[in-house]
Structure 1
Amino acid sequence: MEISGVLPGESHVTTLTVADGRVSQINRRPASRELAGQPSMLCPGFIDLQVNGLGGIAFNDPGLSINQVQAVTERLWQVGVALYCPTLITDSLENLRRGLSVIARARRETAAGKSILGVHVEGPYLSAEDGPRGAHPLAHVRTPDWGEFQTLQEAAGGGICLVTLAPELPGAVPFIEKLVASGVCVAIGHTAATGADIRAAIEAGASMSTHLGNAAHDRLQRHHNYVYHQLAADELWASLIVDGHHLPPELVRIFVRAKRPERTILVSDAAHWAGLPPGIYPWGHCDVEVRADGWIGVVGQPRLAGSGLMLPRGIENVVRFAGVSLADAVRMVTEHPAKVLGLAPRLGTIAPGSDATFTLADWDAERGNLSIRQTVVAGEVVYTNPTRERG
């Protein structure tokens, strides 16, 4: 199998030879010799570390099935996401165990398995304060419990790879140390932590901030606050939701300048309402509104409840809002998330021996628009855009 395209930031055509699901050979030639028209941009497969659901399917749904996990995965392939972390938010132990076991089965028994990197558990060990808690149900917010986490990890078949928590909670620091020692990436999020709490979490092994700038109080102390403390910590990667709703463009520019493109990750935080028509939808303890512009929030409250964003729009927006190069933006959804999970260079890069997982896309520089042409996972073409096939 051969795949050709132009790598982000380059001008020549790269042809990859794929064997047994890996890149076996790389050849380059001037783009002017390409005879089949303008070649697509050839990227490592896009990676999304935070997907709560899609198209009406929620990973927290007690009735979740392996077929629904497959359906979400297929929708993600259509937007160029080759690899992702299904994300479960704060819930009862019973519901979390059920969701984790279904996802574990889907990894074993469906084609989605090759695209699921592991599960992101966002909660339930989060701040109970309004603002930092976000849309997570207060009834199920609790303090870290290692025995409970082991139960969850067993239900997941060892598949939990990322945990978001609030480091100020009692027992959080030794809990972080145990997570990291067991190979789980720890992110700080939904927190009202002090600078000392954040520093202690970093020293214990926390390595990322989850959707930095969101899930916060409306008003923060102007000099000392948990957003600035995380922003200033060079050790922390920062994941950002760049949908134009969670963060204003000016703040995206500030955050990317402070963290630098090299420490920035884009996530969708796609809610299960993403892709649904505008309207009001029930959601357990509250109702959620979906607007035509992709805004998703709790009815009657100034709280967002996830995003309608898909990663291609995040790439477009971070180029537009922060003025970064397209190549840097692509790294925010490929190399950087792979690095934070310890999966690079096998994933997130294109090199001899790396996994043959790619996203081919067309970039309209004039409009700042990214169109997905094809998604390849482990050497298998899983999606081809029928409107953009070569011919």
Structure 2
Amino acid sequence: MQLIMPGKRKFRDAWINEDFQSWLKPVEGNPERASCRICHKELNAELTCIKRHNTSKTHLQNERAIDLGQLELEGNQIDSSTPIGVSTATILLACFIAENNLPFTTADKLVDLMKRMFPDSAIAQGLFMKRTKCTDVIRTMGKTVTNSLIKKLRTNKFSVIMDESTDVSTTKSCAVIVRFYDSHEQKITTAMLDLINVYDSNNAQGSTGENLYALLINTLTILYIPLLYLGAELHSLFQTESLKNRDMVQDVKYRCRQFCISVCVAVRKRFDLDNPLWEMVSFLSVSKALDYRSRIAMPSLQDLIKLVPRINAEDSQKLDDEWRSLDFVSVPDEIRHEKNIEEFYKGLGNLKDDEGHVMFSALSNFALHILSLPTSNADAERVFSKLNFIKTKLRNSLQLPSIIALIAVSEEVQRYGGCVQ
């Protein structure tokens, strides 16, 4: 009996149209061999060998190195002068997915589509990102954004807004929102600091006032954010009791009347409407700050400074002198006619005298910090709206770290006008 040995397999062009099109190519003159454009390595033209190489540790490391611009893909010479490289394209694509609340699985087909759309682009051909890598990239960017925010909170006065909600997977989360004046960006910033699982494995107390307060303090402590600006008033806010339920009545008019009374009583309880702070702060408006007739009623800021001692960390006399000197300084028309109060005080803070000295730095800083005080929980509600867009019925298995990263990256991208900018 004659034993017939099977012949060696030859390279098939169909393999290039499968999952290996980004790196696999035939070896000229030898149909029994295949070549990897990433690892610059030849292998047997067998599907088993090709699949094994596609999942090998060396190949995956080289693939990641190409994404980071540390290696060059054979046959695609990337010009070093190109303003957007592979790594930048990867980041922009991840930002686009986060900004538009798209699933991570979008990256699986979108990258391959871009390769087909732009076959002459070295950057598009060098782009490799599936759902796993997209998740890692967004989480890394999310941590970077959050760390940048934490550094600013360590050196800036800030206010805290907290609210809780339940998402589509019945997970109760508490959003920690911070609002502060960013002196570096010269604007009032509102950002999400953290999204906490109220009922995690280490916490079974639920959404009581004491527990939410403990979660906040624990978050700030872990992030090494000083608690200097948290006082008795904020503690009391977390201990506020819910409004008591009223008996159902048959008369609709009576119920409407009782509802209005309940609202008025609740507002009266929650807000000290007789607090002189509200009237004094109104004098910081553009119309009153530059009107000498309005300033007669408040010639000095000393009474307002006493009500917010933590905001005024500078020399109170200097602040008061700058307030008084507004009557004697010719404010430029572009600042005087500015209707946006934030832009008004930013312009006032940059105003210099004939010798080049800034004239209203203390007043500008004080007013912008006053404006950064939160007046409602609308910012927390916006976070929950984003959460509902991100964690849908089809994406109910998303983990909290991914959600936090998606929201953080989305906020940062939108803060600069979108990923296109």
Same fold per TM (> 0.5)?
A: no
The structure that is strand-richer by fraction is 1
Return the index of the structure with the highest Cα Rg.
2
Higher helix share: 2
Higher relative contact order, structure no. (Cα contacts within 8 Å, ≥ 6 residues apart): 1
TM-score, length-normalised on structure 1? 0.25
**TM-score after normalising by structure 2:** 0.24
